[in-house]
C-alpha cells in the first residue's frame, strides 16, 4: 500500500502547489477511522480509499477531490461524522463526502420502475457537485478490479450494476478509458467463457502473424516523417468486451472484424489532423463507409477526433484516430478535464464540454416526465447512445441517437408529424419505417391524413420522446383494445400459477403498483408498458420465483395468438425467445411468428391489418426452438466431431446437419440446433466460433423460406 508521502508525490507531479496539510490530514484521519477493518480479501480496508485517491491523481484532480477519495467511506462505515469532517477539513470536503455516501446508499435495482427512481436520485445528487460522481466512479473501478474476493452472487450483482449504470455513465461523461475498463471487468464476471474465447483468438492471431502493433506503428511514423509531419503514434488491441459487442451487433465472426486493432495519431494542430488524414489515405486504401469526422461535428460529450479505417500491412484493416493533444486530453478525461491541474494551475481546455449542462437538462426532464418509464428512456438515450446527424429536405440538420429510425426523426420534428407518418424516403428511396438511419442521410417523412400510431412502432422507435408520444396516443385511441389484450395476457400469466386474474386480484395489484385501478393495469399490460409477470409478482412473489425455475414448453411459448392457434415460426428468420416478435396472418393458415427485424416484413409495411401483437412468455424456455447456423470449418481430422461436442457441451441438440460445399481444404455446412432462447444461441455460436479450425460462423437466414401469400 502506498503511504502518505507516495500519494503526495503523485499529486505534486501535476500540482506542485498542493495543500499537503489537507491531504496528509485526510490520509491520517481515514487510516485511524478504518483501523481494524478488513476487506473480503483480508487486506486492511484502508488500502481501498488510498487506491481510489491514486486513481483520481491519474486525472490530475484538485486537492478537495483527493481528500474526499480518502474520506469517502468514513461517514458510512466508521464513527466519523459530517460535523467532524467539516470541522477538520472544511465544508467543501464534508459536502463531497456526504454526497458520495448518499450515492453509495442508493440500491440501484435492476427492476425498471425502481431503477428510474434511483436514476432521479443519482442525478439530483450529482447536480450539486460533479466531483461526487468522479469519486464514485473511481470507487467502483477499484471495487471491480478486486471483485474476485467477493461471493459469486455478489460479483454478478455488482457486475450487472456496473454494466447497466456506471460504465455508460462514465462514457457519457467522456471518460472513455474508464468505461472500457468497467465494461471489460464486468464482462469477465458475467461471461467469462466468451471473454476467454476472444483472448484465445488473440493469442492464436498473434502466434500466426506476430505482434502487428509495433510494425504498423512504425509504418505510420515512417510515412508521416517522409511528409514532414510531427506526431505521436500509439497502437493498441481493443478490449475483449468491445470486440464481443461488435461481434453481436454486426453478427460477425472474430476473423471478419475489421477493427481489432486501433491506432491514435496525436498532432500539434487541428490543421495537422487533416494533413495526416490525407497522407494516410494516400499511402493506404481507405475502407468505404468507415470515415467519421468528429472534429467538424463533435459528440455531445465534447469528443473530437477523425476516425478512418484503412487496409494496412498484409491487407489487415485497422482503425486510425487522429486528434490534437487537447482533444486527446478531453477524450481521455472527459468531465475530469474541468477539474484537472497542470503545474499548480487549473488547466483550461477549449474542447471540454461542461456536463453540468447535461445534468441540468436531465433535471428539467425529471419535472416534465409523466412517469418513471418515460424518464428512464430519456436517461438511457442520453447515456448509452452516440449520435447520427441527418438532413431534412430543407437542409436542416436533425441530431438523433445511434440506431434511430424515420419514426424518431418524425417525432423530433413535431408530434403531429410523427402521428401521421406513413412512410419515409432516405436519399430519395422509399424505405421501411424500421430502417436505421446513418450519418449524412437526407430523410423525407411521408404523412397522410387519418393515420394514427401503430402498436409496433413502440419496438421500432428508439427515442424516449417518440416512445412516450406513441404510448400516449395508443392509450387514448386504443384503450379498449389494450384492456382486452391485457386481460388475455393477465389470464395466461395467472393461470401459469393456478391463479385467476379476478377483478379483485387486479385491483389489489393496482394498489401495490401505485396505479389508479384494474383497468389501468390491464391497459398497460396490453400496451406492453407493464409485463403480466410483473403484475403476478406484485401479488405472489414467492410463487413467481418458484415458477421461474420451471421450463416453458413450446405450446405455451407465445402469448397473443388466437384461441386454438398453433405456434408457427417463420423459417426465414427463426425467431427465438428473447427476440422481439410479431405475428403475420397468411391466407389459409394461422398466424406465423416473425422476428420484428425480419427483412421479409418490408413488403408488409403497408398491410397493418395482417399484423398481430405477440410476446414470448416470460421465464425459462425449453430447448426446442430450432435455429440454423452456417459454419465453415477446416478439412482436418476430428474437426466436425469436435464441433458437435462443443454444441452438446452447451446443452443444445443438433437436429439436422447438411453439407452445402466441400473443398479440399474446407467444408461449409448448415447445422440445425435446438436452443432455449437468444442468450443460449449466442453461447452456442460463441463456443463454435472459438474453435481454431472454424473459419467463419454466422446465423443462417434465407428469405426463400418465408411463407407466401
Query: Which CATH number goes with the domain that contains 122?
Result: 1.10.3210.10
Position 351 in a domain: no
Are residues 299 and 217 both part of a single domain?
A: yes
State the CATH number of the domain containing residue 296. 3.30.460.10
Are residues 22 and 83 both part of a single domain?
A: yes
Position 483 in a domain: no
User: Is residue 252's pLDDT more than 60?
Assistant: no
Q: Which residue stretches of 174-211 are H helix?
A: 176-190, 192-209
Q: What is the pLDDT of residues 126-138, one digit of tens each?
A: 666 778 888 999 9
Are residues 328 and 401 both part of a single domain?
A: no
User: To which residue does cell 481510489 refer?
Assistant: 52
Range of weakest confidence among 17-21, 204-208, 269-273, 581-585: 204-208
Which residue, of 424, 444, 474, is where some domain finishes? 474
77 is catalytic: yes
Q: What is the distance between the alpha carbons of residues 480 and 496, in angstroms, rounded to a whole number?
A: 25
Active-site choice (20, 77, 293, 459) = 77
User: Is residue 162's pLDDT more than 50?
Assistant: yes
Are residues 228 and 168 both part of a single domain?
A: no
What was the pLDDT predicted at 333? 75
Are residues 185 and 226 both part of a single domain?
A: no
Of 397, 391, 388, 444, nearest to 421 by C-alpha is 444
Quickly state the pLDDT bin for 671 (edges 50, 70, 90).
Answer: very high
- Tell me the three state secondary structure of residue 289: coil
Q: What is the distance between the alpha carbons of residues 589 and 451, in angstroms, rounded to a whole number?
A: 29
User: Is residue 152's pLDDT more than 60?
Assistant: yes
What was the pLDDT predicted at 244? 80
Quickly state the pLDDT bin for 407 (edges 50, 70, 90).
Answer: very high
What was the pLDDT predicted at 547? 59
Q: What is the pLDDT of residues 71-87, one digit of tens each?
A: 999 988 888 898 999 99
Q: What is the pLDDT of residues 328-379, one digit of tens each?
A: 888 877 766 656 666 555 556 666 656 566 566 555 555 555 555 555 555 5
- Residue 307 has, within 13 A of its CA and on its CB side, a CA count of 14
Quickly state the pLDDT bin for 55 (edges 50, 70, 90).
Answer: very high
Are residues 176 and 222 both part of a single domain?
A: no
The one-character DSSP state at 705 is G
Identify the residue with better confidence: 558 or 387. 558
Are residues 214 and 182 both part of a single domain?
A: no
Q: What is the pLDDT of residues 680-690, one digit of tens each?
A: 998 898 888 88
User: Is residue 209's pLDDT more than 70?
Assistant: no
Q: What is the pLDDT of residues 633-668, one digit of tens each?
A: 988 888 888 898 889 888 889 998 888 888 878 889
The one-character DSSP state at 569 is B
Are residues 184 and 208 both part of a single domain?
A: no
Concatenating the DSSP letter of every residue in 433-478 gives: TTPPP-TT-BEEEEE-TT----TTHHHH--SHHHHHHHHHHHHHHS
Dihedral pair phi/psi, residue 652, rounded to 5°: -115, 150
CB 626 within 8 A of CB 655: yes
Position 373 in a domain: no
Of 613, 379, 373, nearest to 515 by C-alpha is 373
Identify the residue with better confidence: 125 or 578. 578
619: left (phi over 0), alpha (psi -120 to 50) or beta: left
Active-site choice (20, 76, 459, 579) = 76
User: Is residue 421's pLDDT more than 90?
Assistant: yes
> Bridge-partner residues for 595, per DSSP?
581
What was the pLDDT predicted at 603? 80
Are residues 129 and 264 both part of a single domain?
A: no
State the CATH number of the domain containing residue 565. 3.30.70.260
- Tell me the three state secondary structure of residue 501: coil
Handedness of CA 682, 684, 686, 688 (dihedral sign): negative
Position 440 in a domain: yes
Quickly state the pLDDT bin for 257 (edges 50, 70, 90).
Answer: low
Range of the domain at 451: 385-474
Position 172 in a domain: yes
Position 541 in a domain: no
User: Is residue 21's pLDDT more than 90?
Assistant: yes
Identify the residue with better confidence: 121 or 447. 447
What was the pLDDT predicted at 273? 95
Which residue, of 422, 442, 474, is where some domain finishes? 474
The predicted model scores a pTM of 0.57
Quickly state the pLDDT bin for 112 (edges 50, 70, 90).
Answer: very low
Identify the residue with better confidence: 277 or 176. 277
CB 617 within 8 A of CB 492: yes
User: To which residue does cell 447520427 refer?
Assistant: 388
User: Is residue 595's pLDDT more than 50?
Assistant: yes
Of 495, 493, 530, nearest to 514 by C-alpha is 530
Give the C-alpha distances (Å, rounded to integers) separating 428 from 396, 401, 446: 16, 22, 12
Which residue, of 286, 321, 346, is where some domain finishes? 346
What mean pLDDT is reported for the chain?
82
Position 544 in a domain: no
Quickly state the pLDDT bin for 111 (edges 50, 70, 90).
Answer: very low
User: Is residue 308's pLDDT more than 60?
Assistant: yes
Are residues 570 and 663 both part of a single domain?
A: yes
- Tell me the three state secondary structure of residue 214: helix
Write a three-state SS string for 20-53. HHHHHHHHHHHHHHCCCCECCCCCECCHHHHHHH
444 is catalytic: no
- Tell me the three state secondary structure of residue 230: coil
State the CATH number of the domain containing residue 436. 3.10.20.30
User: To which residue does cell 460533479 refer?
Assistant: 130
User: Is residue 296's pLDDT more than 90?
Assistant: no
What was the pLDDT predicted at 353? 59
What was the pLDDT predicted at 113? 44
Are residues 341 and 237 both part of a single domain?
A: yes
Identify the residue with better confidence: 172 or 310. 310
Quickly state the pLDDT bin for 323 (edges 50, 70, 90).
Answer: very high
Q: What is the pLDDT of residues 497-553, one digit of tens each?
A: 888 888 888 999 898 888 889 998 998 888 777 888 888 888 887 776 665 556 777
What was the pLDDT predicted at 201? 77
Instruction: Kindly give the pairing relationship between strand 611-613 and strand 589-595.
Output: unpaired
Position 376 in a domain: no
Q: How many domains are there within the chain?
A: 4
Q: What is the pLDDT of residues 182-200, one digit of tens each?
A: 999 999 998 888 888 888 7
> Bridge-partner residues for 625, per DSSP?
675
What was the pLDDT predicted at 625? 92
User: Is residue 609's pLDDT more than 70?
Assistant: yes
Are residues 216 and 69 both part of a single domain?
A: no
Percentage, residues of the chain above pLDDT 90? 24
What was the pLDDT predicted at 393? 83
What was the pLDDT predicted at 354? 65
Amino acid at each position: 500500500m502506498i503511504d502518505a508521502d507516495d500519494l503526495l508525490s503523485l499529486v505534486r507531479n501535476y500540482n506542485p502547489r498542493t495543500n499537503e496539510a489537507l491531504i496528509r490530514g485526510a490520509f491520517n484521519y481515514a487510516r485511524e477511522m478504518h483501523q481494524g477493518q478488513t476487506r473480503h480479501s483480508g487486506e486492511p480496508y484502508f488500502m481501498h480509499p488510498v487506491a481510489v485517491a491514486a486513481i483520481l491523481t491519474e486525472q490530475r484532480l484538485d486537492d478537495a477531490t483527493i481528500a474526499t477519495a480518502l474520506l469517502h467511506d468514513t461517514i458510512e462505515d466508521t464513527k466519523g461524522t459530517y460535523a467532524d469532517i467539516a470541522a477538520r477539513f472544511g465544508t467543501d470536503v464534508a459536502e463531497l463526502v456526504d454526497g458520495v455516501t448518499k450515492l453509495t446508499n442508493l440500491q440501484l435495482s435492476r427492476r425498471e420502475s425502481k431503477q428510474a427512481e434511483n436514476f432521479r436520485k443519482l442525478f439530483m445528487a450529482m447536480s450539486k457537485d460533479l466531483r461526487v460522481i468522479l469519486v464514485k466512479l473511481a470507487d467502483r473501478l477499484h471495487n471491480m478490479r478486486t471483485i474476485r474476493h467477493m461471493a459469486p452472487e455478489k460479483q454478478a450483482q455488482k457486475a450487472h450494476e456496473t454494466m447497466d449504470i456506471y460504465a455508460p455513465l462514465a462514457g457519457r461523461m467522456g471518460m472513455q478509458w474508464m468505461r472500457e475498463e468497467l465494461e471489460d471487468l464486468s464482462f469477465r464476471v458475467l461471461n467469462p467463457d466468451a471473454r476467454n474465447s476472444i483472448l484465445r483468438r488473440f493469442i492464436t492471431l498473434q502466434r500466426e502473424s506476430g505482434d502487428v502493433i509495433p510494425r504498423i506503428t512504425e509504418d505510420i511514423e515512417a510515412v508521416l516523417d517522409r511528409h514532414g509531419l510531427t506526431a505521436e503514434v500509439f497502437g493498441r488491441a481493443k478490449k475483449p468486451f468491445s470486440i464481443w459487442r461488435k461481434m453481436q451487433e454486426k453478427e460477425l465472426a472474430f476473423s471478419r472484424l475489421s477493427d481489432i486493432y486501433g491506432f491514435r495519431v496525436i498532432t500539434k494542430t487541428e490543421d495537422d489532423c487533416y494533413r495526416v488524414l490525407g497522407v494516410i489515405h494516400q499511402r493506404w486504401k481507405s475502407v468505404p463507409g468507415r470515415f467519421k469526422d468528429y472534429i467538424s461535428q463533435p459528440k455531445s460529450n465534447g469528443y473530437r477526433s477523425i476516425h478512418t479505417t484503412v487496409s494496412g500491412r498484409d491487407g489487415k484493416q485497422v482503425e486510425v484516430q487522429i486528434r490534437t493533444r487537447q482533444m486527446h486530453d478531453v477524450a481521455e478525461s472527459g468531465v475530469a478535464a474541468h477539474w484537472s491541474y497542470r503545474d499548480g494551475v487549473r488547466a483550461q481546455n477549449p474542447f471540454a464540454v461542461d456536463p453540468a449542462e447535461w445534468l441540468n437538462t436531465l433535471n428539467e426532464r425529471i419535472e416534465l416526465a409523466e412517469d418513471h418509464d418515460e424518464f428512464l428512456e430519456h436517461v438511457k438515450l442520453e447515456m448509452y447512445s452516440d449520435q447520427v446527424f441527418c438532413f431534412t429536405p430543407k437542409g436542416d440538420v436533425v441530431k438523433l441517437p445511434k440506431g434511430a429510425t424515420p419514426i424518431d426523426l418524425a417525432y423530433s420534428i413535431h408530434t403531429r408529424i410523427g402521428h401521421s407518418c406513413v412512410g419515409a424516403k432516405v436519399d430519395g428511396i422509399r424505405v421501411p419505417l424500421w430502417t436505421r438511419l446513418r450519418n449524412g442521410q437526407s430523410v423525407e417523412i411521408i404523412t397522410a391524413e387519418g393515420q394514427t400510431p401503430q402498436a409496433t412502432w413502440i419496438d421500432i422507435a428508439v427515442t424516449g420522446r417518440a416512445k412516450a408520444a406513441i404510448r400516449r396516443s395508443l392509450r387514448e385511441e386504443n384503450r379498449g383494445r389494450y384492456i382486452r389484450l391485457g386481460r388475455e395476457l393477465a389470464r395466461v400469466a395467472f393461470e401459469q400459477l393456478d391463479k385467476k386474474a379476478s377483478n379483485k386480484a387486479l385491483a389489489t395489484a393496482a394498489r401495490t403498483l401505485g396505479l389508479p385501478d384494474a383497468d389501468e393495469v390491464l391497459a398497460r399490460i396490453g400496451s406492453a408498458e407493464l409485463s403480466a409477470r410483473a403484475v403476478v409478482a406484485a401479488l405472489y412473489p414467492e410463487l413467481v420465483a418458484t415458477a421461474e425455475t420451471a421450463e416453458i414448453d413450446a405450446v405455451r411459448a407465445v402469448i397473443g395468438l388466437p384461441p386454438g392457434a398453433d405456434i408457427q415460426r417463420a423459417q426465414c428468420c427463426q425467431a427465438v425467445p428473447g427476440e422481439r416478435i410479431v405475428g403475420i396472418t397468411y391466407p389459409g393458415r394461422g398466424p406465423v411468428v416473425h422476428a420484428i427485424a425480419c427483412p421479409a416484413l418490408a413488403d408488409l409495411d403497408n398491410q397493418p391489418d395482417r399484423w398481430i401483437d405477440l410476446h414470448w412468455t416470460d421465464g425459462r424456455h425449453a430447448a426446442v426452438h430450432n435455429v440454423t447456423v452456417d459454419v465453415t470449418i477446416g478439412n482436418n481430422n476430428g474437426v466436425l466431431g469436435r464441433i458437435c461436442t462443443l454444441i452438446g457441451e452447451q446443452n443444445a441438440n443438433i437436429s439436422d446437419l447438411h453439407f452445402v460445399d466441400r473443398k479440399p481444404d474446407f467444408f461449409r455446412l448448415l447445422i440445425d440446433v435446438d436452443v432455449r432462447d437468444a442468450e443460449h444461441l449466442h453461447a452456442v455460436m460463441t463456443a463454435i466460433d472459438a474453435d481454431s479450425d472454424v473459419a467463419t460462423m454466422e446465423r443462417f437466414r434465407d428469405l426463400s423460406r418465408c411463407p407466401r401469400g
